Chain A
Amino acid sequence: MNPRELTRARPGPARTVTFDGRPLEALPGQTVAAALWAAGVTAWRSTRDAGRPRGVFCGIGVCFDCLVTVNGRPNQRACLVPVRPGDDIRTQEGTGRDDD
């Protein structure tokens, strides 16, 4: 059993995105976080101070732990932002800006 079978989901065709340059298949309607989870990825940020890995924590846009860089724009909440075809998703290091 998986969640899609359970809910008898018939998603549209998957789209390709990249995570740190590696191609991934993502389903339409999924958030960036959901697409990464589906691909087995659970961390996509390293903290500013200790450089520790982080991913989803609250899942509803409150905690800002899941910040990620999408198409060059840092500090996107992966749990809120829907994935779009061709998205260039990258692990966010620190503040995600060059002056870090």
Chain B
Amino acid sequence: MTERPRLAVVGAGPAGLAAALAAAARGVQVTLVDAADQAGGQFYRQPAAALGARRPQALHHQWRTWERLRDGLDRHRTAGRITQLTDHHVWCVARDSASGAFAVHALLGPAQEDGVTVRADAVLLATGAYERVLPFPGWTLPGVVTAGGAQAMLKGGLVLPGRRVVVAGTGPLLLPVAAGLAAAGAWVAALVESAGPGALLHRAPALAAQPGKLAEGAGYAARLLRHGVRTLARHTVVAAHGTDRLEAVTVAALDRDGRPRPGSARRIPCDTLAVGHGMLPHTDLAETLGCTLSGTAVRVDAEQRTDVPGVWAAGEATGVGGAALALAEGHIAGRSAAARLRGTAPDPGGWGAARTRTRLRAFATALDAVYAPPAGWADRVPDETVVCRCEEVTAGEVRGAVDSLGAGDLRTVKLLTRAGMGWCQGRMCAPAVAGLAGCPLTAGRRPFARPVPLGVLAALPETE
């Protein structure tokens, strides 16, 4: 028997799972590497097994799809076609330019003190995305969490951040987060969305091409009504209040130009603010490999190949578009990798997934336009507001670096102010710093995707 080619899939969310299943079914030996203790990614994040949840689907959407993915993974694992590595935090993927072989370097969780290396003939990056939150006064108070973070803690730990919650920001994630928190017993005092219903109507053709997605949104809206959740469209949170923890937020209506209407501010008492302004792709591993980006996402061709030989990418890492798009891209990427590793070409004509991908990408582009942060948001961040949460750099300091010292890009602002130099390496503050500096949000060019103990680096063989 000839040896099966080896594919390392990084990320076990919808894209990574779809890719792993497609490749494993076509003669590839797959290693599925993921940081969590169970497959699912953020979208299908599962409660910890020891919590004994007998009805986890109560916190989920599209559970049938998850069951299909989970059962497929189990079948391929049993058959030895997929090796699943949980609690593996990948910090770097290296390509040997002579042989074209890959080394996937990971830290073993949860301690992340020891390293391990997975060898492969090709890699498929399904690294997902994280949330973008734009700063406002009080956003560093305990009790202010990202919308996705509140959802992750609920899905994974079966806990609520507080009793009285405001969900705010912009984007399609806010609806399921508010609906989930309400179903789990939180009092959702308001859903505050800066986009207005008019913006949705302007994009009607592209949105109407996805009736299923619109019905999904309508379903969440109906659930919110049932829970008595008040939706404030074309509103924004202008400040969070409290001394050592959140006590209230001030919300204001937005005018046609995206500015808060004078006199419209009102205070809503709450112990939790779940806030988000869209998602950003995780591209560190791709960047270190030398893959070209398009904006903030990994650039791929019709087969989901990056421009580095042997490297595929799928899902949110190649552009944020939701779980259904991630599944289609993952499937295409897995099929392509299987064919190319055998020295053949995949048959794109037979791909229903390619048509799905085209439709869902158009839908995502339309949503992006609808859910853009309000114009001029950066000008309204007060000077004293902390922008870089790690290094405690204020908006005024960033403006000083731009106005007085001539900084025109993220890197120069970082060197002058330390914004982006801390633990999170600018993942949280880069969108805000870019907005304040008036420069494009560019990828961070981080050689390592996460902090690595020196002992792990020292233990690597010299050739790497």
Contacts and interface: CB of A to CB of B under 8 A. Distances in A.
Interface residues of B, number: 54
Interface string B37-59: 10000100001111111111011
B245 interface: yes
A56 B183 contact: no
A91 B49 CA distance: 28
A19 interface: no
Interface in B142-177: 142-146, 148-154, 156-162
A3 B158 contact: yes
A34 B390 CA distance: 22
A38 B159 CA distance: 6
B185 A6 contact: yes
Contact of A11 (B51, B59, B130, B141): B51
Contacts of B42: 60
B427 interface: yes
Contacts of B150: 59
B307 interface: no
A68 interface: no
Interface in A1-45: 1-12, 27-31, 33-34, 37-38, 42-43
A89 interface: no
A64 B141 CA distance: 15
Given A3-B59, A56-B153, A63-B428, A49 B392 contact: yes
Contact of A64 (B144, B154, B160, B424): B424
A9 B158 contact: yes
B196 interface: no
Contact of B145 (A47, A49, A56, A62): A56
A48 B157 CA distance: 29
Contacts of B143: 42, 55
A3 B158 CA distance: 5
B392 A61 contact: no
Given A1-B183, A38-B159, A53 B142 contact: yes
Nearest to A28: B50
Contacts of A61: 35
A30 B145 contact: no
Interface string B378-400: 00000000000111100000000
Interface string A62-88: 111101000000000001111000000
Most buried by B among A1, A5, A6: A6
A81 B110 contact: yes
A49 B397 CA distance: 15
B142 A55 contact: yes
A63 B244 contact: no
Contact of A82 (B110, B130, B151): B110
B424 A9 contact: no
Contacts of A12: 50, 52
A58 B148 contact: yes
Given A7-B53, A29-B47, A65 B245 contact: no
B94 to A, nearest CB: 22
Contacts of B389: 54, 57, 63, 65
A29 B50 CA distance: 5
Contact of A42 (B245, B422, B428): B245
B408 interface: no
B121 interface: no
A78 to B, nearest CB: 10
Contacts of A97: none
B109 interface: yes
Contacts of B142: 42-43, 53-55
Contact of A7 (B47, B390, B424): B47
A3 B163 CA distance: 12
A74 B389 CA distance: 18
A59 B149 contact: yes
Given A8-B53, A57-B389, A63 B424 contact: yes
Contacts of B161: 37, 42, 56
Contacts of B392: 47-50, 52
A62 B54 contact: no
Interface string B80-114: 00000000000000000000000000000110000
Contacts of A67: 423
A79 B18 CA distance: 27
Contacts of A28: 48, 50-51
A58 B244 contact: no
Contacts of B156: 31, 34
Contact of B130 (A5, A52, A60): A60
Given A43-B244, A62-B130, A63-B389, 20 more contacts: A1-B184, A2-B184, A3-B158, A7-B53, A7-B55, A12-B50, A29-B157, A33-B153, A34-B157, A38-B159, A43-B142, A52-B392, A53-B244, A53-B245, A55-B143, A59-B150, A61-B35, A63-B427, A80-B110, A82-B37
8 contacts: A6-B184, A8-B54, A12-B50, A29-B157, A60-B148, A63-B146, A80-B109, A82-B110
Top-3 shortest CB links A-B = A59-B149, A29-B48, A34-B157
